[in-house]
Amino acid sequence: MGGGINGSGGAGASAMDVYLPRSQGDVDDDGKERRTGTVWTATAHIITAVIGSGVLSLAWAMAQLGWVAGPITLLLFAAITFYTCGLLADCYRVGDPATGKRNYTYTHTVKSYLGGWHVWFCGFCQYVNMFGTGIGYTITASISAAAINKSNCYHWRGHGTDCSQNTSAYIIGFGVVQAVFCQLPNFHELWWLSIIAAVMSFSYAAIAVGMSLAQTIMDPLGRTTLTGTVVGVDVDATQKVWLTFQALGNVAFAYSYAIILIEIQDTLRSPPPENATMRRATAMGISTTTGFYMLCGCLGYSAFGNAAPGNILTGFGFYEPYWLVDVANACIVVHLVGGFQVFCQPLFAAVEGGVARRCPGLLGGGRVFRLVWRTAFVAVITLLAILMPFFNSILGILGSIAFWPLTVFFPVEMYIHQRQLPRFCAKWVALQSLSLVCFLVTVAACAASIQGVLDSLKTYVPFKTRS
């Protein structure tokens, strides 16, 4: 990991790039493999990364925040993410946006503009979040896989039947699949998987929206309020505070794609300048996902009210049509196979880039090392997912860890450095105020989500608890 942060090579290219010679017509301006990405592939990567497990928790988040704060929070997070991602995209090249020196990863970008402790802090936040997202996606995929069996059980045996499932077997199965896909050499070869995953994310989000709308029209299952869950009725005062902050973390997780923005941008062909293409892709990706988020969150809340389940498609507010619930959950599993790779491939490349520079002859040019270490990585992810299957709390922790430092702090600091803004000028004050507010939200969301995990651990027994 250290080599991936500080070395001159890029974590956006795998260790294999070090060993395979390219013909001159196949290389880019830096001698690496020629990039072929377009605004459409970048948008697919964004949608794959953004419309993930986070969308499933938005009805629950809306139930904690209510009709006023809920939609406003979604729109604010979308606006902040769009703005700061634009700042970050402009930092991909140092100097001229078309011919300047390329930064292959987020941490290389931070090193080019800020240096010092910022590089290590960025690497820590980025790679810890990638690792944690792998756990979160594994948990979500296994819950959705188990929900398919539960849905069939409820349909054939009745809604009052005990149809609980042990998710450990599903977690292991997902891990085996990821151990295979993790052998794809680098991020550039994921475009086809991202397109499939993006189609899957549209599919299950559309199903969730449609079923929520139908439930709202036919027979809403709970009452909604302007302020969400009611103190003294649904929750006590302390729970209201903790759950509100945890909901903010869930919304932050739903927009946490800045973590891999530079890695996505590094797949884009040039000309045109990568920052222009990335801004278009960001606008398309964020506007599309925000539309789905508003529909899923608001319609899910209107369907279930203040008792909305933590996961709208696996909490079984929907029982029928059971086959449609099955299709939606199958789409989630397929999507998260791709989403896992989009988040973890940059981490793989960072480690392998460092190993390649330090030990260029290691184990047959890196192929054996890649096989062993990536398989071990997936095994650790799988084990931790079995030990901590807490959906909403884990999403809240991941969202809070990624949101402030990677979505706000570093883009703001690099923009200030790039534009040489004088301290205490109007724009400097505005940007630093935005960063401070987002930092406070991050701290509150992280604390609330950790509290949620601690509460869950009081009753959870590893390998025995069923869902």
DSSP string over 2-42: HHHHHSSS-TTS-THHHHS---GGGB-TTSSBPP-B-HHHH
User: Maximum CA pair distance of the chain?
Assistant: 70
Q: Which tokens sit at 213?
A: 């709308």
| CATH code of residue 136 | 1.20.1740.10
Q: In this model, does residue 322 exceed pLDDT 90?
A: no
pLDDT band at residue 72 under the 50/70/90 scheme:
very high
Q: Give tens-digit pLDDT for 341-363.
A: 877 877 787 787 777 777 766 65
CA distance 31 to 295: 45
CA distance 358 to 421: 39
Please name the residues in contact with 411: beta carbons below 8 A apart, sequence gap of 6 or more. 84, 85, 87, 88, 91, 258
Average pLDDT, the chain: 79
Span 72-77, mean pLDDT? Answer: 91
CA distance 50 to 52: 6
Q: In this model, does residue 198 exceed pLDDT 80?
A: no
In contact, 13 and 353? CB cutoff 8 Å: yes
In a domain, 39, yes or no: no
pLDDT of 25 = 55
pLDDT of 7 = 32
pLDDT of 317 = 60
CA distance 253 to 140: 13
pLDDT of 19 = 37
CA distance 344 to 395: 17
Higher pLDDT, 464 or 185: 185
Q: What is the extent of the structural domain holding 340?
A: 44-458
In contact, 380 and 237? CB cutoff 8 Å: no
Task: Please name the residue that has the structure tokens 């270490």.
Answer: 373
Helix (H) or strand (E) holding 101: strand 101-102
In a domain, 29, yes or no: no
pLDDT of 8 = 30
**352: nearest Cα among 343, 363, 342, 341:** 363
Q: Comparing 1-5, 167-171, 387-391, which segment has the lowest mean pLDDT?
A: 1-5
pLDDT of 11 = 36
Task: Please name the residue that has the structure tokens 């699949």.
Answer: 177
**167: nearest Cα among 195, 145, 190:** 145
Span 117-133, mean pLDDT? Answer: 83
CB atoms within 10 A of CB 383: 15
pLDDT band at residue 144 under the 50/70/90 scheme:
confident
Please name the residues in contact with 16: beta carbons below 8 A apart, sequence gap of 6 or more. 185, 186, 365, 366, 367, 370
Q: Give tens-digit pLDDT for 145-190.
A: 888 888 888 878 877 777 777 788 889 999 999 888 888 766 556 6
Q: Give tens-digit pLDDT for 16-26.
A: 343 334 445 57
Span 56-75, mean pLDDT? Answer: 89
pLDDT of 16 = 34
pLDDT of 250 = 76
Side chain identity at residue 243, one-letter code: L
pLDDT of 435 = 93
In a domain, 28, yes or no: no
pLDDT of 459 = 63
Helix (H) or strand (E) holding 465: none
Q: How many domains does the chain have?
A: 1
Alpha helices (runs of H) in 182-273, residue ranges in sequence order = 191-218, 237-254, 261-265
pLDDT of 168 = 84
Q: Which tokens sit at 357?
A: 């520079």
Pairing of strands 101-102, 93-94: antiparallel
In contact, 379 and 120? CB cutoff 8 Å: no
Highest-confidence segment of 55-64, 84-93, 247-256, 383-392: 84-93
CB atoms within 10 A of CB 225: 16
Q: Which tokens sit at 384?
A: 């931790």
In contact, 128 and 134? CB cutoff 8 Å: no
pLDDT of 12 = 38
Helix (H) or strand (E) holding 219: none
CA distance 188 to 115: 27
Q: Comparing 163-167, 234-238, 242-246, 394-398, which segment has the lowest mean pLDDT?
A: 394-398
In a domain, 466, yes or no: no
Higher pLDDT, 358 or 424: 424
Q: In this model, does residue 319 exceed pLDDT 80?
A: no
In a domain, 397, yes or no: yes
B/e letters for 418-455, b = 16+ CB within 10 Å, e = fewer, are: eeebeeeeeeeeebbebbeebeebbebbbbbbbbbbee
pLDDT band at residue 404 under the 50/70/90 scheme:
confident
In contact, 176 and 29? CB cutoff 8 Å: no
pLDDT of 433 = 95
Q: Comparing 164-168, 241-245, 434-438, which segment has the lowest mean pLDDT?
A: 164-168
Going from the C-alpha of 371 to that of each of 40, 182, 305, 374, 465, the distances in angstroms are 31, 9, 48, 6, 32
In a domain, 15, yes or no: no
Q: In this model, does residue 78 exceed pLDDT 70?
A: yes
pLDDT of 3 = 34
